[in-house]
Amino acid sequence: MTPIDEGLMRAAAIGIAATAVMDLWLLLLQSLKVPTLNFALLGRWVGHMPHGRWAHDGIAKAAPVRGELALGWAVHYATGIGFALLLAYAAGPQWLQAPTVAPALALGMVTVAVPLFVMQPAMGAGIASMRTKTPVLNCVKSLANHTVFGLGLYVAAFAASTFFS
């Protein structure tokens, strides 16, 4: 395996692990009765895209898509892998060998732009959840979720550098 292939595989594994850390966080929130994203709705949104439907007045009111829950989970993990690959590219291969928390945390926090400025508007919630009853709370929850993802990137990278070097 070439060093590039090894770096890509390591970054993908880091993305999967960081997304799993975020999912554990979401499970904790759910256990505390804090509403979180329903991944079936993410799958529904993505499932409508091949038919030319990118934006909805309210994704929950849109027609269900076959396999939307599985699709939502797949998109969720593919996105986590994509963000980890972006981090590995931006921080460089030396970061994969000796990760530091700042780049991972910064990327995690920056990724909150995707739900706030792409997903929420396209799903009918408006920019930064402005069409919801609690936009500020929703934005804070999104930032917290993506901060946890960033910490997950660091923890996963640190574990990979420790155990697989």
Structure tokens that stand for 5 in this block = 């292939």
Range of the domain at 17: 3-163
User: What's residue 165's pLDDT?
Assistant: 64
Amino acid in position 70? A
DSSP string spanning 18-47? Answer: HHHHHHHHHHHHHHTT-----HHHHHHHHH
Rounded to the nearest 10°, the torsion over CA 113, 114, 117, 120 is -130
Closest residue by Cα to residue 26 from 87, 68, 76 = 76
Question: pLDDT digit string (tens) for 3-31?
Answer: 888 889 999 999 999 999 999 999 999 99
Question: pLDDT digit string (tens) for 70-105?
Answer: 999 999 999 999 999 999 999 998 999 999 999 999
Specify the residue for token string 């799903």: 123
Cβ burial of 73 (10 Å; 0-12, 13-18, 19+) is middle
Number of domains making up the chain: 1
What is the sign, positive or negative, of the torsion defined by CA atoms of 82, 86, 92, 94?
negative
